[in-house]
Amino acid sequence: MPASFFIRSNLTALVVAAVLSASVVPCGPADAAAVTTDAAEDVADADTSTVSVLATGYTAGVESTGKRPGHPQYGVTFSGVKVRRSKVSTIAADTRVFPLGTLLYIPGYGYGCVADTGSRIKGRRIDLYFPSTRQVFKEWGKKQVEVKVIKRGSGRVTETMLDAMNEVAVAGQDLSDKKFDS
């Protein structure tokens, strides 16, 4: 086959990929920054607002993080805390939109504290932690949801803070009026 066939095929594939991704992901770094900035401005002083986000699921495994059990950073989030699925679970977000320590209520999932980031988690996207890929697909998948911002984070989160959030949640108390910085 002539070389022009392969060039034309590759160009067609690139155009199709660009068209498909244009409706989902910004085209370039400047566009991504603009989308992220807009999203951050929308929730900047929203302590009890709702925000529409695209929520996906992740695990501590190689399929989500590239790390296998035995790796020193396996199961450790960007903030340094261990991943957990409990009353208040660890979630990943774009920290320019939801700073570390931000507490969200996600319908169908529960409370999530932003403790992690992800290379594909930009703008109004969040990633919810699940212990296994089976649970990700069975319980969640990919959903557009309205999350409630319970408390905006200070930019850090610790195991002690997560433990305190979980104690309050287990006791059925209001998480919005508690201080968890430590």
**Residue at 125: amino acid letter:** R
What residues does 111 pair with on adjacent strands? 88, 105
What is the C-alpha to C-alpha distance for residues 32 and 55, in angstroms, rounded to an integer? 18
**Which CATH number is 3-19+27-170's, of 2.60.40.1840, 3.40.50.300, 2.40.40.10, 2.60.40.10?**
2.40.40.10
Average pLDDT, the chain: 80
What is the C-alpha to C-alpha distance for residues 138 and 115, in angstroms, rounded to an integer? 23
Lowest mean pLDDT of 15-29, 97-111, 136-150, 156-170, name the range.
15-29
Neighbour-count burial for 35-67, b at 16+ CB within 10 Å, e otherwise: bbeebbeebeeeeeeebebebbbbbbbeebbee
What digits encode the pLDDT tens for the residues 111-139? 999 999 998 899 999 999 999 999 999 99
What residues does 112 pair with on adjacent strands? 89, 104
Predicted local distance difference test score (pLDDT) of residue 6 = 39
The DSSP output letter for 143 is: E
Domain residue extents for the chain: 3-19+27-170
Q: How far is CA 75 from the centre of its chain?
A: 15
Instruction: Band the pLDDT of 48: cuts 50, 70, 90.
Output: low
**Percent of the chain whose pLDDT exceeds 90:** 66
The DSSP output letter for 76 is: B
Q: Taking residues 45-66, report their average pLDDT.
A: 86
